[in-house]
Amino acid sequence: MTCCRSVCGVMQRNSQVRLLLVMPSMTPTYVGRSYDAITQRWEAPQHPLTGLPQHQRATQFSRSRGHALDVGCGCDDRLMEYLRAQGFEVEGIDVSERMIALARQRHPDTRFHHADICRWELPRQYDFITGWDSIWHVPLAEQESVLRKLCDRLNSGGVLIFTMGGTDQPGEVQDDHMGVPMYTATMGIPKMLAVLAECGCVSRHLEYDQYPQLHVCVIAQKA
């Protein structure tokens, strides 16, 4: 799932590099329902697709090409297809029921999970995990535990790539700029780097890849 304008646009308007809480946190279930209502946007060819160059960079750090997981895979297959071409056996998880249903129709041989990443128990260790424009929909209070969960399920040498709001301080925002209620949050870069280190992961790459928007791509690797 992709909602970069929500978190990055609000952060861009807040020149103090800080987000303000404007409404109570939406649960992932409600975020999934919002994406259910706009799934057709990801079916349209004109919908902007991002992240492939960053994944090409991330896979260069990978030591093994075993199992990979796409968190917030949606119904578009571009990143999973790239990972398959790199030799990974890929599966996906998304909180949107409609997106997962469409993904299963398009790729019946791929394993997809309709689940909330906050509650879902990852079934195995992975050599590569991506959370492109997805895990920032996790409620702020649960972002640290989700990041730790993903790091814990990386094999030694495994790579995690994800995006986040590029602020120093934690914050969250809810709006309806996409025509449906949407929620995004960030724990802040200092906290994120501390959590990665505590989990035995090293930050290999951190980039404001859509500057001046505060959209940050992080590539980390398990020791």
Q: What is the DSSP letter of 135?
A: G
Give residues with Cβ within 8 angstroms of 191, minimum separation 6: 144, 170
Give residues with Cβ within 8 angstroms of 204, minimum separation 6: 61, 159, 219, 220, 221
0.85 exceeded by pTM: yes
75 φ, ψ (degrees, to nearest 5): -105, -5
What pLDDT is recorded for position 45?
A: 53
pLDDT band (50, 70, 90) for residue 178: confident
Residue 201 pLDDT exceeds 90: yes
Average pLDDT of span 37-44:
79
Element (H, E) at 165: strand 154-165
3-state secondary structure 198-212: HCCEEEEEEEECCCC
What pLDDT is recorded for position 42?
A: 73
Residue 117: count other Cβ atoms within 10 Å of its Cβ: 23
Average pLDDT of span 100-121:
94
Task: Indicate the domain borders of the chain.
Answer: 4-43+51-222
What pLDDT is recorded for position 36?
A: 87
Which residue carries 């030694």 as its tokens? Answer: 156
pLDDT in tens, 72-108: 999 888 899 999 999 999 999 999 999 999 999 989 9
What pLDDT is recorded for position 25?
A: 66
Homologous superfamily in CATH for domain 4-43+51-222: Vaccinia Virus protein VP39 (3.40.50.150)
CA-nearest of 63, 68, 98, 93 to 81 is 68
